[in-house]
Amino acid sequence: MQTFSVMQRWLIVAAVMSATLMQVIDTTIVNVALPHMQGSLGTSPDSITWTLTSYLVSSAIFMPLTGYFTDIFGRRNFLILSIAGFTIVSILCGASNSLSEIVICRMLQGVFGASLVPLSQAIVTDVFPPEERGKAMAIWGVGVMVGPVLGPTLGGYLTEYFSWRWTFYVNVPVGIFALLLTPVVPDTAKIKRPMDWLGLLLISTAIGGTQYVLDRGNQADWFNSTQICVITFLAIAGLLGFLLHNLHRKENIVFDLRMFKDKNFTISSLLLAILGLGLYGTMVIQPLMMENLFNYPVIISGLVMAPRGLSGMISMILMSRLINHIDPRYLIAFGICLSAVGMLVGTHYSINISPYWLIWPLFLQGFGMGMIFVPLATVAFSTLPVHFRSEAAGLFSLLRTIGSSMGISVAITVLTRHSQMLWNQFGGFINPYNRALYPYLQTLHLQPSQPKAIGFLGKLIGEQSQMSAFVNVYAFIMWSFILMLPLIFMLKKQEGVAQGMHVIE
């Protein structure tokens, strides 16, 4: 295995992590700019969300192909192609003047950006020796986890003081910086590898369909929509077809499913998908609660969310030092408990809480997630053969993406359905036979029959039903963390000083 000096390692890290940060921030930076994009492009609220859907679907389809394109082009050339393509298409996104233009450009952005995260993980893992791989995963994890948290803050600032177009143009200097450093990135040999077109079609149908259903399901009323039912059927058929196809075809397949025989990789991937539910589910509902219910400005909402990313960064750096001395399973378990406690606080929120009660639970949750992410990413590749690494990194990132999409979909669905259900339940108490209603309104010098009282009670019911629905989402995410605990101790314990760091060469 090639060895690198300390200077070479950090230059390589700077190159791949700047590209990774650019890509992961882009998954969330646009969200806060959607209303401004809608007005500028003259489209409807439902149509503008295609700028998110197109990016997520194309990215999800191409992510597991990382290993294939790495073999075809070589790792360095593929990295250069991905960074250059992502940067150029970002310029085109910012210059778009119609919905169709920006949807096509966002789709291409997803194609070029899909492999940046798994490529960076594989490269960072390779350039550090086994005993320092925990540090490598901490560095990589900082970009992957902190980026999505900082995205809304940066996006809100750029949109507020410049234009929504700058949420795309901001990628240009970062992309140029990354390209200038790519010559230091170690290359791999090119391998002639024919494409399994049938396998690609089947897995693209499965992944693209799943991503579409998760992203659009809530807007389309889930399985009450014929479109969602048809695409769900196609996604399931594509997945089953791909599995059967792989059983009969042993060579030249899109990606090798034998990597899932590695117990650590399989369980770690599943845990990462569940972690994505908590990470992105919270990231979506928290700003909604602050802006829609508490009337915080976009900038303030972003600043309140920022400590979560900061604490995650601190805990990742700490984990890089502890992982060689403490069983990674215990670190993951403790991180899950911290994250669950952070969500538990959210289940006691009310309409009258101060920003303090929003900030410190997020700080605690971010610290816990950092404790989970670094050991999990390390253990996932600890027993996996090296020749699987590029493909495995692509699948690992894909499962994180699908878990994140599930988290967003579940959080929004629970919030929407429970808001409606609770509004009806609370509204049932507003009637002439409720004796508590009269003294409550008397303190406000109102009578139930007055229009002002009716308006006030309607507003109050709406606020309280939304608040209770947010609390229910926090409770759901808390239980998702708790359900991760039994899976942790199914991971294989690694022997030796550098626990979880041994790699089969």
Cα 282 from Cα 482, distance rounded (Å): 16
Cα 59 from Cα 63, distance rounded (Å): 6
- Greater pLDDT, 35 or 245: 245
Confidence (pLDDT) at 501: 38
Q: What are the tens digits of pLDDT across the range 325-361?
A: 788 888 888 989 998 998 899 888 888 888 888 888 8
Under 8 Å CB-to-CB from 396, ≥6 apart: which residues?
118, 121, 265, 268, 269, 272, 377, 380
Q: What is the mean pLDDT of residues 412-424?
A: 83
Cα 361 from Cα 192, distance rounded (Å): 51
Residue 254: pLDDT band with limits 50, 70, 90: low
Count helices and strands in the chain by DSSP H and E runs: 21, 0
Q: What are the tens digits of pLDDT across the range 208-241?
A: 787 778 777 777 777 788 888 898 898 898 888 8
Residue 458: pLDDT band with limits 50, 70, 90: confident
* Nearest to 456, CA basis, from 470, 466, 467, 446: 446
Q: What angle do CA 446, 465, 364 make, to 5 degrees?
A: 125
- With a cut of 70, say whether residue 58 has pLDDT above it: yes
- With a cut of 50, say whether residue 429 has pLDDT above it: yes
Confidence (pLDDT) at 390: 66
Residue with tokens 């816990």: 368
* Nearest to 286, CA basis, from 309, 269, 270, 317: 309
Cβ atoms within 10 Å, residue 105? 23
Taking the chain, what is the end-to-end CA distance rounded to the nearest angstrom?
9
Cα 193 from Cα 253, distance rounded (Å): 9
- With a cut of 60, say whether residue 250 has pLDDT above it: yes
HSE-up of 363 (CA within 13 Å, CB side)?
10
Cα 84 from Cα 115, distance rounded (Å): 13
* C-alpha torsion angle, residues 416, 420, 421, 426 (rounded to 10): 130
Q: What is the mean pLDDT of residues 133-152?
A: 70
Q: Residue count of the chain, please give it.
A: 505
Confidence (pLDDT) at 85: 92
> Average pLDDT of the chain?
78
Helix (H, G, I), strand (E, B) or coil at 449: coil
Q: Are 208 and 61 in contact (CB under 8 A)?
A: yes
Cα 140 from Cα 73, distance rounded (Å): 23
Distances (CA, A) of 382 to 125, 143, 186, 264, 494: 10, 21, 21, 8, 8
Residue 500: pLDDT band with limits 50, 70, 90: very low
At 119, the amino acid letter reads: L
Cα 186 from Cα 4, distance rounded (Å): 10
Q: Are 121 and 397 in contact (CB under 8 A)?
A: yes
Confidence (pLDDT) at 504: 30
Confidence (pLDDT) at 497: 35
Residue 503: pLDDT band with limits 50, 70, 90: very low
Q: What angle do CA 283, 285, 290 make, to 5 degrees?
A: 100
Under 8 Å CB-to-CB from 79, ≥6 apart: which residues?
16, 19, 116, 119, 123, 182, 185
Measured in degrees and rounded to the nearest 5, phi and psi for residue 496 equal 105, 175
* Nearest to 467, CA basis, from 478, 455, 459, 477: 459
DSSP 100-159: HHHHHHHHHHHHHHTTHHHHHHHHHHHHS-GGGHHHHHHHHHHHHHHHHHHHHHHHHHHH
Alpha helices by DSSP H, 382-450: 389-427, 437-442
At 480, the amino acid letter reads: S
Helix (H, G, I), strand (E, B) or coil at 250: coil
* Nearest to 152, CA basis, from 169, 167, 171: 167
Q: What angle do CA 153, 341, 367 make, to 5 degrees?
A: 45
- With a cut of 90, say whether residue 88 has pLDDT above it: yes
Under 8 Å CB-to-CB from 157, ≥6 apart: which residues?
299, 302
Under 8 Å CB-to-CB from 37, ≥6 apart: which residues?
30, 48, 51, 102, 164
Confidence (pLDDT) at 110: 85
Residue 496: pLDDT band with limits 50, 70, 90: very low
